[in-house]
Chains A and B, each alone.
Chain A
Amino acid sequence: MNFKLKDIGPQLITVIAVVLIFGFFTYNAQVNMENRGIDFGYGFLSQESSFDVQFSLIEYDGSHSYFRAYLVGLLNTILVSVIGIILATILGVIVGIARLSPNYLINKFAAFYVEFFRNIPLLLQIFFWYFAALRALPLPQDAEPMFGISFLTIKGLFVPAFIWQNFNIFFYSILAAIITIILIRNHAKKLQETQGKQTPVLLISIGLIFILPLLSFLIGGVRLSFEVPVLKQLATTSFIYEGGVSLPPELIALALSLSLYTATFIAECVRAGIQGVGKGQKEAAASIGLTPNQVLKLVIMPQALRIIIPPTTNQYLNLTKNSSLAAAIAYPDLVLVFAGTALMQTGKAIEIVSITMFTYLSLSISISILMNWYNKKIAIQEK
């Protein structure tokens, strides 16, 4: 009996404390809302939002619902995160490898980059790019064309738009290429494991991913043309580019600073991963007669990736969460559109903040579940 009490006691106290705190908060919230005449509910999501958003991937204006505004914000967050993740990965991998270079200058240059960008707050970097660096860009009428088709101006980046014919055939061809590559990879892996044969998977993959879409152009009737942005005069001194795709300066500043900042962390992950593979592994692989390429592909990379991928995914998550700093430079992401404008208009603090938090929470929990699954899959199975 005594033994059981010892077990239950601390748990009971903790649970009671938690319940009391939550009860206290809910009770107060109820009282406060009653006093102010606010009712709790998510019904406002279907109401007309009556505010505009500067930049949106889907059709949106004031006549759409709050839920649509939420979607606009969410899509913008995803857009900047995806751009940031791609750029940060490319830069991070290059810098991470450069950190291991035997070349003294490259090594120090990469180290300087990492130490420099890692130790400055991200918000400051965003402000710097947006308020100081991008403000030094030319006005639309003075902009020099880049490659003759795109314009980087103070009002944003204007690039040509793709106009597709039979886009779905092109899409299916890429899909088919990806599926074939996966199949070939699996087959090659099996061959490698059972017979020890090497298949040039990378070459075949590169070939496939180019040839199949090319075929879709030649046979499938896919056509691609470009709509180049054209300068248009709005007033005597006000110019803007029409046609094409325009990326607002907020997006550019945000994507740039997010990727520059996160790349430093990814670079460290890559470096730690490659360094984490023991020297003996490389020597052992070389001593059984593998070529340097094979050593890298078959021995170093599989082990390094095991160390690199989990923290890198963490960095991707951080980048996605950090993209919420967009609110500081008025890029219409989830926080600005929903927890900012929509909250101001409806006054539904609890509902809106909880939806926003829940969105981020479900995003990161789903990725961490995926990560745990992946970790289990690639963990070394000791016999």
Chain B
Amino acid sequence: MMSKINFLKPDKSNLYTFLYLGSFLFFVSVLDVLLNSFFSLNLTGFLPDFLSFLLPLIIGFIGLYFIRIELSGIKQLDLLNKHINTNNFNAVLSLLIIFIILKSIPPILSWFFVNASFAGDSKDVCTGSGACWTYIKVWMRRFMYGMYPNAEQWRINLSFIALALLGSVGYFAIDRFKKYLTLYYVVIYPFIAFLFIFFFISGGPVFFDFSYGIIAAILSIIIGFFIPSRFKFYYFLIVPFAIYILLKYFLFFEEYIELGKLDGLNWVETGAWGGLSLTFIISFFCLIFCFPIGMAFALGRRSNFPLIRYISIGFIEFWRGVPLITVLFMSAVMFPMFLPADFFIDKLVRCIIAISLFEAAYVAEVIRGGLQALPRGQYEAAKSLGMGYWRMHIFVILPQALKLVIPGIANTFLALVKDTPLIFVVGLLEIVGMLNLAKTNPEWLGFAMEGYVFAAIIFWIICYAMSKYSYNLEQKYKTDR
């Protein structure tokens, strides 16, 4: 009796018998599923349905049981056993996962590529059982730019390219200018970005504001070189805006430009903006605005002044307690009631304000976590050097605290990007909204799946790239403590 059981128990003494037998059984089971799923051949079709369904699993399980030989001395086998074949339970799970993957590849491939239609520009070509990528192709411009006029779309492209180039300055800056980078990214870059997006993309009479803004930015950077470094921060906080306002309200350049017969750009109202570019615009602005607001409230919540502390707590807990959709509802229906009757704020701007305040509360909590994690000694050391509140925070506390909370901030920003589709509440249509609009077009009914899969891929790439980037950033700034 015992010898029989021992015979069935694989070990080193009968290694090769079991290895060959086991791998053969395992191979047969995988082959059966493979043939079944790719060529719809059923090798075990002669058996009853139930058995034929379970047979690969049973054979594969026996095979894996046979090759589970501890310390066999064969490197690959040990590796295999360690990773997918530690015990019976794991063996069954591994087999199931292998089978699920094998089973799901053919339908996915056929839907995405083999039976999909790519050519043509009308619904008629979509006769296969696969996806109709023609639909995406035809609607591509709408998905990317919304209702923005086709002839003007170069403005969006140009703005994004320009901003991407301006944003990548940090990588190419020579060492001498590296110390100004923070300043550049915190003050000047958002300013230029704002001008680009708001004035260049919307065009119209405000286009001139854009040129003032560019002049102001360039002038302030040039003058900035002659400013002593201790005032530089305050200088860049104030002067670009001052020059801009000076140009806009006191110098009346507009008249000269119009004298020179220079036309502005066509006006495109924000209601026509949409698609993926709107997703980018909204995420970008909210990202810029919510960060300083959140930082202010994080500091406010840690403040020694009780009144400021309570106001900050109230603000943070209020925004964190309500869903974004009600906030957007509020910005759409309630907020206009709170403003003077003749005062009108653009829908998009209201949206950006609402989302920024909402996300700022989350950013504030994340930054507070970083502030709390810093040891007291850092505060005391900074104070003992005679630093005031602001100098202490800007030069000692915040750089360390922010480094600690990079993952948290990245998560908040990810949430922000994923929240942008909610703006459908106020009637703005970014990419998901455009999909829903295109889906109801009578000429293109029945392609909801393609649209959502397309948008899902785009969002997935954006979000995955962001999370990987934040991980790299975290590793880069990690300092052992």
* Cβ-defined partner of A119 (8 Å) among B93, B317, B323, B460: B460
Which one, B83, B307, B422, B425, contacts A11 given CB within 8 A? B307
Shortest distance from the beta carbon of B56 to any chain A beta carbon, whole Å: 16
- Complex Cα distance, B98 from A353, in Å, reads 51
Is B333's beta carbon under 8 Å from chain A? yes
Most buried by A among B321, B419, B435, B459: B321
Q: Is B142 an interface residue (CB 8 A)?
A: no
| Cβ contact within 8 Å between A28 and B90 | no
Is there an interface contact between B333 and A349, defined as CB atoms closer than 8 Å? Answer: yes
Q: Does B329 contact A (CB under 8 A)?
A: yes
Q: Which residues of B contact A101 (CB under 8 A)?
A: 90
B:335-375 near A, CB below 8 Å = 336-341
Task: List A contacts of B90 (CB < 8 A).
Answer: 101-103, 106
The tally of CB-CB contacts under 8 A between chains A and B is 156
**Which stretch (B13-21, B144-152, B210-218, B447-455) binds chain A?**
B447-455
How far, in angstroms, from A64 to B68 measured CA to CA in the complex? 68
With A11-B305, A103-B86 as contacts: A122 and B418 at CB distance below 8 Å:
yes
Q: Which residues of A contact B417 (CB under 8 A)?
A: 121
B326 interfacial contact with A, CB 8 Å: yes
Mask of A125-162 contacts with B, CB within 8 angstroms, 1/0:
10110011101000000000000000000000000000
Cα of A218 to Cα of B97 in the assembled complex, Å: 44
Which of A10, A25, A124, A127 is most buried by chain B, counting CB atoms within 10 A of its CB?
A124
Which of A180-188, A243-251, A320-328 interfaces with chain B?
A320-328
When distances are taken between beta carbons in the complex, the residues of chain A under 8 Å from B98 are 105
Separation of A335 and B324 alpha carbons in the complex (Å): 11
The CA-CA distance from A101 to B86 in the complex, in Å, is: 11
The answer on a CB contact under 8 Å between B83 and A28 is: no
Cα distance A379–B435 in the bound complex, in angstroms? 48
Q: Quick one: which of A157-211 are within 8 Å of B by CB? A: none
B421 interface neighbour in A7, A124, A354, Cβ under 8 Å: A124
Question: Are A324 and B307 touching (Cβ within 8 A)?
Answer: no
Rounded to whole Å, the gap between the CB of B103 and the closest CB of chain A is: 14
B311 at interface by CB-CB < 8 Å: yes
B97 touches A115 (CB 8 A): no
Option from B93, B324, B330, B419 in Cβ contact (under 8 Å) with A103: B93
Interface size, chain A (Cβ < 8 Å): 58
- Chain B interface: which size bin? 35 or more
Q: In whole angstroms, what is the CA distance A349 to B464 when docked? A: 39
- The answer to the question of B277 belonging to the interface, with a C-beta cut-off of 8 Å to chain A, is no
B333 and A131 within 8 A (CB) = no
B125-142, CB under 8 A of A: which get 1 and which 0? 000000000000000000
A350 within 8 A of B: yes
CB of A105 within 8 A of CB of B97, answer: yes
Residue B301 lies at the interface, judged by CB distance under 8 Å to chain A:
no
Bound complex: CA A335 to CA B332 (Å) = 14
Cα A15 to Cα B308 in complex, Å, equals: 8
Partner of A105, one of B84, B307, B337: B84
Give the distance in Å from the alpha carbon of A198 to the alpha carbon of B217 in the complex: 73
Residue of B nearest to A102 (CB): B86
- Given A32-B341, A103-B94, A324-B325, check contact A353 B432 (CB 8 Å): no
Closest chain A residue, CB of each to CB of B421: A123
A293 at the interface (CB under 8 A from B): no
Chain A residues contacting B306 (CB-CB under 8 Å) are 11
In the complex, A33 Cα to B421 Cα: how many Å? 32
Q: Does A18 contact B (CB under 8 A)?
A: yes
A132 in contact with B341 (CB, 8 Å): no
With both beta carbons as reference points, the residue of chain B lying nearest to A323 in the complex is identified as B323
CB of A360 within 8 A of CB of B326, answer yes
Q: Does A109 contact B (CB under 8 A)?
A: yes
**Interface flag for A104 (CB, 8 Å):** yes
Nearest neighbor of A25 in chain B, beta-carbon distance: B338
Residues on the A chain within 8 Å of B421, using CB: 121, 123-124
Please tell me if the beta carbons of B84 and A14 are within 8 angstroms of each other in the complex: no
Residues of chain A within 8 A of B467, CB atoms compared: 119
A305 to chain B, nearest CB (A): 21
- Chain B interfacial positions (CB closer than 8 Å to A): 82-84, 86, 90, 93-94, 97-98, 305-308, 311, 317-318, 320-326, 329-330, 333-334, 336-341, 414, 417-422, 424-425, 432, 435-436, 439, 448-449, 452-453, 455-456, 459-460, 463-464, 467
- Could you list which residues of chain A lie within 8 angstroms of chain B, going by C-beta atoms? 7, 10-11, 14-15, 18, 24-25, 28-29, 31-33, 35, 101-106, 109, 115-116, 118-125, 127-128, 131-133, 135, 321-322, 324-325, 327-328, 335, 339, 343, 349-350, 353-354, 356-357, 360-361, 363-365, 368
Apart from A11-B306, A105-B94, A119-B414: 5 A-B pairs, beta carbons within 8 A: A7-B305, A103-B94, A104-B84, A121-B421, A364-B320
